[in-house]
Structure 1
Amino acid sequence: MTSNLPPWPEQPLVGERVALRRADDRDIPMARSLSSDPYVPTIGSLPPDATHEQARAWIVRQRDSRDRGAGYSFTIVDEQADAAVGNCGLWLRALPDGRATAGYALAPEHRGQGLGADALRTLTDFAAQLSGLHRIELYIEPWNSGSMRTAESAGYLREGLLRSHQWIGGSRRDMLLYACLVP
């Protein structure tokens, strides 16, 4: 499939403490760490306790997201440690309506350090450059206080509760809607 989306950024996107770059094989250990979290595999295509090969296949899917027309999936790199610490994405299926959805996940050992909020701010700055986009939405489960703090720290506002909104881990789940308007 050929995408109508703008090309990948030529250089990594740089925040205060993180850089966002296209996924590659250096990210296999980070992907395996993400897969060890009991929640992360329930919300995406990364299998639980991924093998090296499964983690690599997931990375290929992330790297090819733009070419499939889905959006942009970035590896989050802690610039000080020069290490991949997570993944974030901007999903543009609703772009004709001016909306996108963002998501982020940090490997368990890198949470609680503000890296996720920096990555989300950096991703949002990138999104503001895309023609026709005016709104980015996040969907967060009501129990996930860490993700709520990340969203709020990155400038997203809570708009409400969407009851039985999303199928996760074999059941319908309520989701909090957070959003950011882009200029």
Structure 2
Amino acid sequence: MRGLATPTLLGEQVTLREYRDDDRQLVLSVVHDPLIPLMTTVPQTACTTEVQAYIERQRRRASNGDGFQFVVVENALGRAVGQVGITFREQNHERASVGYWIAPQFRGHRYAAGALRTLADWALHSLTVERLELYVEPWNEASCRTAESAGFEREGLLRRWERVGSERRDMYMYSLVRQ
């Protein structure tokens, strides 16, 4: 499904919307985070060109048919606080993985859980997605709680599943399936 457009999704606590040029500050706020650039395509420097290229890549994912990347905006003050996205894992788009990050200064307010619930509800009811998958490092208890609060169930431990920086790491697999 090429040529898709990123919709705006309104949740109880957050709104999910397409990336805009003025989201550079949000991306800049996480370039030096110890994990986000290692696990995502967020640049590891504050280079304006690289940050703009990152934003452009996020915007193209829907039109390329790869998935959807959203900026997470808190509803109360309208501030961009993070990102949540879905990446299709099968050509028919029935299985997809979900990822998210919240900028350090906005963590602890349950924005990730709100974003994950909003995205999952939309994906399972408005798209052809039958199964959403989410991977979390075992030490990341906050992310485990986020996944579970959004209705995801832990299925097991995937040993040496994902490269994070220079090493392969174990990940818990979580899933949420269409009922």
TM-score over 0.5 (shorter chain): yes
In the alignment, which residue of structure 2 is the partner of 1:53? 49
The 1:131/1:20 distance shift into structure 2, 3 A limit, reads closer
Matches within 5 A, 1:133-148: 133-148=129-144
| 1:5, distance to aligned residue in structure 2 (A) | 6.4
In the alignment, which residue of structure 2 is the partner of 1:110? 106
Question: TM-score, normalised to structure 1's length?
Answer: 0.92
Any idea what SS the aligned residue of 2:92 has? helix
AA partner of residue 55 (structure 1) = V
Aligned residues: 179
Q: Partners in 1 of 2:118 and 2:151 — Cα distance?
A: 11
Any idea what SS the aligned residue of 1:34 has? coil
Q: Partners in 2 of 1:181 and 1:15 — Cα distance?
A: 20
From 3, 6, 9, the counterpart of 1:8: 6
Q: Partners in 1 of 2:128 and 2:74 — Cα distance?
A: 30
AA partner of residue 132 (structure 1) = T
List structure 1 runs of 4+ shifted beyond 4 angstroms: none
Q: Partners in 2 of 1:95 and 1:151 — Cα distance?
A: 25
Q: Partners in 1 of 2:93 and 2:17 — Cα distance?
A: 27
| 1:66, distance to aligned residue in structure 2 (A) | 1.0
Percent identity over paired residues:
41
| 1:6, distance to aligned residue in structure 2 (A) | 4.4
Contact 2:17 2:72 in 1 (8 A): yes
2:97 aligned with 1:101 = yes
